[in-house]
Every structure is written in structure tokens, then in C-alpha cells.
Amino acid sequence: MSVPVPKAILVVGDETKGGSRAVVQRHAAWLAARGCAVEVVIDRESSLADRRADCAVVFGGDGSLLAAARRMGERQLPTLGINRGRLGFLTSFEQEHTERALSMLLAGELHEEQRQMFWCVTRTPDGASSGPVLGLNDVVVGRDAVGGMITVRAFRGATELATYRGDGLIASTAAGSTAYSMAAGGPVLVPDLDALVLTPLASHTLSARPLVLPTGQGIDIEVIEIGGSRRAYCQIDGQVQVQIPVGARVQMRPAAMRFRHLGPGPTHFFQVLRTKFGFADLPRSRS
């Protein structure tokens, strides 16, 4: 859906990345010169949940966009991502097209597409818990860097779905299906689909295959064995990591709020699949 023309804009960057401060400040001034009220945040640890703006513009790669979504918490702003990273699959425009992207934003020409988010909580056998942590892409339950294979079991409510033995298990949203899950052999899902993908990591069983299921009330992943190590690990969006022991459960639940992605339109996802991944394309001769 189209979004209204914004008057107040939150501009987000990461001052620890080279050149980011100058890039953010230059484009913040560009927006201010066109009558926008602009707030700049370049501290990567600052909460964005209490910022009052009509939308956010995030300069960085996919990791910056994921972090911004988590930092917004329950108050998700329509968010335009400008890629300053390597791949930039989640972002909508490359840095060299920034002024075009901002011009489209101010003209009301961008479209909002909502993406499913989730809460992740870990619970140990003694009743201790950590979280909740808000995520957009995926939850990974994996083995320690030093140690043998681990065994995990996935549940949907009281129903056991599958048991996996290997390096671990990825549970991803549709938006996260093109990240770690795809690299591990999982399927590509259209990002506005309400679904989860379970993708085993280096499974010791040939019959273990990725599983796509409706989001429903979410899933649980229980750690059964950890191959001689003292801990397994749970990672949310590749950015928040929690150590978990045998018997712990990782609970992934759908969040009420949605990530509000701003982009050129619904066909952009498939264009990016082809241009950045060469997805389902035939070799073409040069003219």
C-alpha cells in the first residue's frame, strides 16, 4: 500500500562503520532543506522505541535494518533501507540511488509491505528464562564451536514435529528465508507470507528436509543432547546470542506488530532475487 508523505523523519546510521556519520548527516541535511523535521541517531545501541517520526531511513546493510527493527520494539515505523553493506537484500536501494529513494519517499511514491515479526524466549529446566527478544529473520539453535553434534526436537504446541541431529536447526520467517536458511538449503518464501521454515543444519539423517508450516502459535525447540559440550547456543537474527543447556526450550512466538518495509513495490523482491542471487535465470549472451 502507498504511504502518506512524511513530515518528520528518523535517520539511522552506525557511527562505528567508516564514513557512516558523514553520509547520515549529509542526507539528513538534504531532507531538512526540503522542509522535513529530522532526528539523527547514529549510536547503534540507542533505543528507537520512543522516537516520534512518520518514518525511518536506515543507512547500512541487512544487519543494520534487522537491528533497527529490533530497537523499534512495539512501535514499528515505516522503514526505508539504504544499502551501505555487502549484499543488502533487505534494503530497498543502493547508496548511489539515495537521493532518488528519498525523493520517492517525499513524493509518497514508496509502498509499505508488512513483514511478520516474532518474540523469542529461552526457558531452562530449572525455570529460568531470558528474553523476550524481538526478531524479524530467524532463530538458530546450534552447537558450540568446539564439540560434537547436538540433538534438538521441534514442537508445535503439544505436537512433536521432528527430531534433528547435526549442527542445529534454523527456524526462519518468510522474510528470513533468504538468509541463513537459504544458505543451508532451505526454500525461498515470498516475504509477506505468514509462515515458518525449519531448516536443519548439517543433518546426520538423509531424511531430514526443510519443513514449511503456517505460523500459527509459533514453535518450540528443545535441546536434547549437546555432544559433550556444556552449552548450546540460541541466536536471534544473528545478533543476539544466548547460551542454553540440555533440556532448555527456545520458544518462538508471532509478534502482534509487523515490520513496515518501504520499497518501490511488490515486484522489487523478485527483481532483487534475480539481480543479487541470479535466481531461476538462464545464462544470457552479451549483446
Return the active site residues: 62
The single-letter code of the amino acid at 86 is R
Do residues 79 and 260 touch, judged by C-beta distance below 8 A?
yes
Residue the block writes with cell 502507498: 2
Q: Quote the Cα angle for 231-142-155, to 5°.
A: 100
Residue 185: C-alpha distances to residues 39, 63, 131, 138, 170 (Å):
41, 21, 29, 15, 11
**Radius of gyration over alpha carbons of the chain, in Å?**
20
Burial class of residue 50, CB neighbours in 10 A (0-12, 13-18, 19+)? exposed
Please name which of 178, 157, 137 lies closest in space to residue 249, comparing C-alpha atoms: 157
Is there a contact between 107 and 100 (Cβ–Cβ < 8 Å)?
A: no
DSSP class of 75: S
